[in-house]
Amino acid sequence: MLENVNLKRRMSGDEYARVLPGLQRRLYDLEKTCWDNKVSSIIVFEGWDAAGKGTSIATLTQRLDPRGFKLHAMSLPRPFELNWPWLRRFWLRVPMAGEMAIFDQSWYSRVLEERVEGLVHERSWRAAYGDIADFERTLADDGTVIVKFFLHISRKEQEKRFKVLEADPLEAWRVTRADWARHKKYAEYLAAVEDMLDRTEEAHASWTIVEATSRRWARTKILRTVIAALEQRLGGLVPPRETPEEAAAADAEAATAVEPLDDGGEA
């Protein structure tokens, strides 16, 4: 699957500056409509280290009302959490009616990092696929919109980004020995990702593979995908799109806005 992804997709700076404000405003309108109509949503971000998950989330949420979403940056379970069913910590973070929950890494760590690093027994990560299917099916049946992203870059691109970060005294802390250790296992992780994508693709919780070599391309694709999913769920409740006059006025105002910090520049 991933070998067929075109990682050379690009977007010019001019086009990015032209389309981004309108996409962010549209998402804000949909966020408010979802809140008013109690339509909840979950947005999952998985991907390679240094693929740009953090800055993509920053762009996604930059114009949203912070009262309408919660961001959950997940890590491996803490020791005391191992005493409970493994999905408990994610159930505790499902969104309320009308709320958007964004997961920077998620329950898929069980079949990715925990699997590849041998942190759980094989029978545990294999059984997790059934647990995940039930978890997402239950949420979807309750009306929750589920959008899942995997940000994909090549092994060579990941190495390049690590070195760029390490060369910057203010950013070098972001690259750890664990990051390089996972980089050396790129092929093992690739096999686990392929397995994950194949076994957890469902109509109610489908994956979108994001070609993340170009950060501008990745961010706009993510915004458009979330917008499309919310519009489809809202149906006749979708708010009207802005007029050309409104768009021009809003673009003029947005021209002075500060864009979220990048993590290495446009490739």
The answer to the question of residue 198 being in a domain is: yes
223-260 pLDDT, tens digit each: 999 999 999 999 989 998 876 666 666 666 655 555 55
Residue 234's pLDDT is what? 97
The whole-angstrom separation of Cα 44 and Cα 59 is: 15
- CA 23 from centroid of its chain's CA atoms: 16
Q: What is the pLDDT of residue 41?
A: 98
- For residue 209, the model assigns a pLDDT of 98
Evaluate whether residue 256 is within a structural domain: no
Determine, yes or no, domain membership for 244.
Answer: no
Does 264 score more than 50 pLDDT? no
DSSP state of 1: -
d(CA 18, CA 129): 41
Is 49 among the domain residues? Answer: yes
Question: Does residue 213 sit within a domain?
Answer: yes
The domain of 56 spans 2-235
Q: pLDDT band at residue 267, thresholds of 50, 70 and 90?
A: very low
Q: How many domains does the chain have?
A: 1
> For residue range 19-31, what is the model confidence (pLDDT) as tens digits?
999 999 999 999 9
Does 168 have pLDDT greater than 70? yes
Query: 243: buried, middle or exposed (CB in 10 Å: 19+, 13-18, 0-12)?
Result: exposed
Query: Domain containing 175 — which CATH number?
Result: 3.40.50.300
Predicted local distance difference test score (pLDDT) of residue 259: 53
Residues 6+ apart with CB under 8 A from 59: 20, 24, 219, 222, 223, 259, 260
Structural element, H or E, at residue 102: strand 100-104
Instruction: Tell me whether residue 245 is in a domain.
Output: no
**CA dist list (Å): 223 to 9, 19, 100, 111:** 16, 10, 14, 26
Is residue 265 a part of any domain in this protein?
Answer: no
Tell me whether residue 209 is in a domain: yes
